[in-house]
Amino acid sequence: MLPLILNLKNKKVVIFGGGSVGERKAKLFSAHSDTVVVSREFTDDLKKLGKTGKVELIRDDLTEFDKYLKDAFIVIPATSDKDLNVRIADKARDCEKLVNTVDELGDVVVPSVISKGDILISISTLGKSPGMCKFIRKQIEEEIGDAHSSMVRLQEEVRNLLKERVDDQKVREKILWEILEDETVWKDLLESYDKTYSSVLKLIERGRFDRNNKYAGNPCKGKR
């Protein structure tokens, strides 16, 4: 298995089954994709999602489910009929669709996710221990704070600036890494991002983060 981050914008996820499992999947995927739930019946929460337009609900007895596979990017068989789920999964794979299964390891495994600002961390035990995923997530969440999100922003802005003014990639990488390891920068980020950014630029100009001073001239002359 290879962990990937997928951009599901304008992608269609088709869920077969309107019970509790289908509801859980719909709540997850509808925040990131065009989500369709096909089923004979729907839970009350799914009906509410359908009314808000977040999820498209299609009432069907699923005797001819093939027609719903055509435009799907991910297919999720989540009915109460295991045999039907297998048939849907097999047909979806025949149509070269990604399949997220409920009872076994499919093509797509939905991990436990930590999202803070621009930091996205996924955790998975490949379906072997959901409890362990939750345990690890709690531990990591305690370590990730506001300063980490601010550091992502700082790294991005300084990186873009250095790309314009420092030709040597290794020098750019060294400067950025020195910033990451600087305890003062981390402390300052908790107080003020703008002040931290300005002070980091001044320190770069003085060669603080490039002790060999390999870059020519003033790489950070000027402001954002």
Question: Are residue 84 and residue 163 in the same domain, yes or no?
Answer: no
- Asked if the structure places residue 56 within a domain, the reply is yes
Question: Are residue 101 and residue 21 in the same domain, yes or no?
Answer: yes
In this prediction the pTM is 0.78
- Asked if the structure places residue 26 within a domain, the reply is yes
Question: Are residue 16 and residue 105 in the same domain, yes or no?
Answer: yes
How do residues 154-198 score in pLDDT, each as one tens digit? 999 999 999 998 889 999 999 999 999 999 999 999 999 999 999
How do residues 49-82 score in pLDDT, each as one tens digit? 999 999 999 999 999 999 999 999 999 999 999 9
Question: Are residue 98 and residue 179 in the same domain, yes or no?
Answer: no
C-alpha to C-alpha distance for 224 and 222, rounded to whole angstroms? 7
Question: Are residue 22 and residue 79 in the same domain, yes or no?
Answer: yes
- Asked if the structure places residue 86 within a domain, the reply is yes
- Asked if the structure places residue 120 within a domain, the reply is no
| Residues sharing a CB contact under 8 Å with residue 23, sequence separation 6 or more, in sequence order | 43, 45, 46
Long-range contacts of 64-67 (CB under 8 A, 24+ apart): 65/16, 65/38, 65/91, 66/91
Range of the domain at 178: 146-205
Question: Are residue 21 and residue 105 in the same domain, yes or no?
Answer: yes
- Asked if the structure places residue 52 within a domain, the reply is yes
- Asked if the structure places residue 137 within a domain, the reply is no
How do residues 88-120 score in pLDDT, each as one tens digit? 999 999 999 999 998 777 899 888 889 888 999
- Asked if the structure places residue 45 within a domain, the reply is yes
The arithmetic mean of pLDDT across residues 135-143, rounded, is 93
Question: Are residue 101 and residue 154 in the same domain, yes or no?
Answer: no
- E runs forming strands in the chain: 12-16, 34-39, 55-59, 74-77, 98-99, 112-116, 119-123
Coil vs helix vs strand at 33:
coil
Question: Are residue 154 and residue 105 in the same domain, yes or no?
Answer: no
Q: 36 forms bridges with which residues in the sheet?
A: 14, 56
Question: Are residue 105 and residue 154 in the same domain, yes or no?
Answer: no
Q: Which two tokens stand for residue 133?
A: 């995923």
Give the domain CATH number at 84: 3.40.50.720
Q: Please check the confidence at residue 223 and state whether its pLDDT lies above 90.
A: no
| Residues sharing a CB contact under 8 Å with residue 55, sequence separation 6 or more, in sequence order | 26, 30, 35, 36, 37, 46, 49
Question: Are residue 103 and residue 152 in the same domain, yes or no?
Answer: no
- Asked if the structure places residue 118 within a domain, the reply is no
Question: Are residue 49 and residue 100 in the same domain, yes or no?
Answer: yes
Question: Are residue 106 and residue 180 in the same domain, yes or no?
Answer: no
Nearest to 117 by CA among 151, 161, 159: 151
The total number of structural domains in the chain stands at 2
Q: Which two tokens stand for residue 77?
A: 């068989």
